Amino acid sequence: MIRTVNLTKKFGNLLVFEDVNFKIEKGERVVIIGPSGAGKSTFIRCLNFLEFPTSGDVYFEGKRIDKNSNLPAIRQRIGMVFQHFNLFPHLTALQNVTIAPIKVKKMSEKEANEIAMYYLSKVGLADRINHYPSQLSGGEKQRIAIARALAMKPDLMLFDEPTSALDVEMVKEVLDTIEKLAFEGMTMIVVTHEISFAKEVADRLIFMADHHIVEENTPSEFFAHPRTERAKKFLNKIVNI
Amino acid sequence: MHLWHNFSAIWRSVPFLLKGLPITLSLTGLSGLIGIGIGLALALMKISKNKLFRWFALIYIDLFRGTPLLLQIMIVYYALPLNIDAFSAAIIALSLNAAAYLAEIFRAGIESISKGQMEAALSVGMNYSQAMRYIIIPQTIRRIIPPTTNEIVALLKDTSLVMVIGLAEIVYKAKQIGSATANFLTPLMFAAILYLIFTIPLTRYAEKLERRFSRGD
């Protein structure tokens, strides 16, 4: 579905990641973990071109995309959930979900509302539709953000540390929502630090550190038998916390 | 006796002074509206990716903020080969000048919206102009209303400068009354009160909005 070849990103002289070769097939669930600063978030932001890669190629369904591609059309098919939710504060929960279907897909308001209600019920927030983001908890905001992305009926979902900004007691409701999606067959790439979630959900785990993909394995294998010293060092640190 | 005579003469000239008010208000209203339009365009140019637009906006804003408004009014009326009446010249100069100040207010307002808002809008498939129109601008508006109101208050006061090209607004009328009655204090004070009737409520309104927005989300 999406593939990168020697993808490299620099901010000025600062190297974020280098020569990343990555591939995800339809229906696959991939988790990316690694120390902060390894370039995980920037990498998935290059997949929908919120960041423009410095060099290398991104292929979406076999077609190479660059900054001259029809990016809005591609992004409609790639949903994204952000660490800090990025809900639209001037719109209600329902409007947050319907605005893109109405303005981008030119759907009627009635049709968009039906779709929005379907996804808002799915994330368990049908009773919050008229609330503004400022009236919602972090976990609720993130679930609205998931519904907002789903309402465009994407083929692939990108999750950029979806639980890192949440209070501990709200992490589970968001992870449960993502797990439910995973078990329904949604193709997804999740940048996360949640080990049990990774074990539960991912078909494949990618360990990124020092600007590269260091290790790629099934989650259970990776956590039980890390092959590289870098991965061992990382796992020691996060397990000891 | 002398004072009383003077006072009644001035009292009789109040309607005369008030005739300047429509000019002051229409200059403020029209230049404000046109200035907001041009200011928004300049703000978008200043944050655009196009270097030419950015340069144009930068130079425009520098020129109009870096020279006296009085000079700009005189240039438009006397120096440019436009062949227009004083009222039109005043509107042109005042709105071009206000646009420079408003552009900076709008630019700061747009840039105060977190980067994540644009990213979220793009990530659901909006193009740049849809993201601006439905996501960024509506959020910007509530933040820029207080400073924009203050700018309109400044514009209202600045309209008095157009008396140099012979437009009979409030101060011009007050000066005429002063010359005719040999008493400048009373008509000028009266003119001041006329300005305050508009500027104080507007300023209070801006302050109230500012407090409300800084309290809220």
Give pLDDT tens digits for B138-149.
999 888 999 999
Q: Using a CB cutoff of 8 Å and minimum separation of 24, what contacts does B172-181 make? A: B172/B20, B173/B16, B173/B17, B173/B19, B173/B20, B174/B17, B174/B20, B176/B16, B177/B10, B177/B13, B177/B16, B177/B17, B180/B13, B181/B6, B181/B9, B181/B10, B181/B13
Q: How far is A50 from chain B (nearest CA, A)?
A: 7
Q: What's the pLDDT at A131?
A: 95
CA distance B82 to B62: 23
Give pLDDT tens digits for A51-64.
999 999 999 999 99
Region B186-204 average pLDDT: 92
Give pLDDT tens digits for B59-89.
999 999 999 999 999 999 999 988 899 999 9
Average pLDDT, chain A: 94
DSSP lists the bridge partners of residue B210 as none
Q: What's the pLDDT at B16?
A: 84
Q: What is the ipTM of this complex?
A: 0.93
3-state secondary structure of B148: helix
Say which amino acid occupies B112: S
Q: Cβ A104–B130 below 8 Å, yes or no?
A: yes
A202 or B183, greater pLDDT:
A202
Q: What's the pLDDT at B86?
A: 93
Given pLDDT bands bounded at 50, 70 and 90, which one contains residue A113?
very high
Task: Single out the residue of A22, A20, A31 nearest to residue A163, CA to CA.
Answer: A31
Per-window interface: A 167-186 vs B, CB < 8 A: none
Say which amino acid occupies A24: I
- Residues ≥6 apart with Cβ < 8 Å to A138: A85, A165, A166, A167, A170
Q: Is the model's pLDDT at A241 over the cut of 60? A: no
A50, A100, A145: residue with CB nearest B126: A100
Average pLDDT, chain B: 90
The secondary structure element, H or E, covering residue A7 is strand A2-11
> Quick one: how far is CA A203 from the chain centroid?
15
Query: A142-146, A168-172, A229-233, B206-210: which range is least confident on average?
Result: B206-210
CA distance A131 to B166: 56
Note whether A26 contacts B: Cβ–Cβ < 8 A: no
Region A92-112 average pLDDT: 96
Residues of B in contact with A104 (CB under 8 A): 124-126, 130
CA distance B167 to A135: 53
Q: What's the pTM?
A: 0.80
Quickly list H helices, chain B: 2-18, 20-47, 51-66, 69-74, 86-111, 115-123, 128-131, 137-158, 170-181, 185-215
Contact call for residues B126 and A100 (beta carbons, < 8 A): yes
Residues of B in contact with A88 (CB under 8 A): 117, 120-121, 135, 139
Residues of A in contact with B120 (CB under 8 A): 80, 82, 86-88, 145, 148
Q: What's the pLDDT at A148?
A: 97
Q: How far is A213 from chain B (nearest CA, A)?
A: 25
Given pLDDT bands bounded at 50, 70 and 90, which one contains residue B4?
low
Q: What's the pLDDT at B3?
A: 58
Q: What's the pLDDT at B1?
A: 46
Give pLDDT tens digits for A200-225.
999 999 999 999 999 999 999 999 99
Given pLDDT bands bounded at 50, 70 and 90, which one contains residue B108?
very high
| b/e map A71-92, b = 16+ CB within 10 Å | bbebbbbbbbbbbbbbbbbbbb
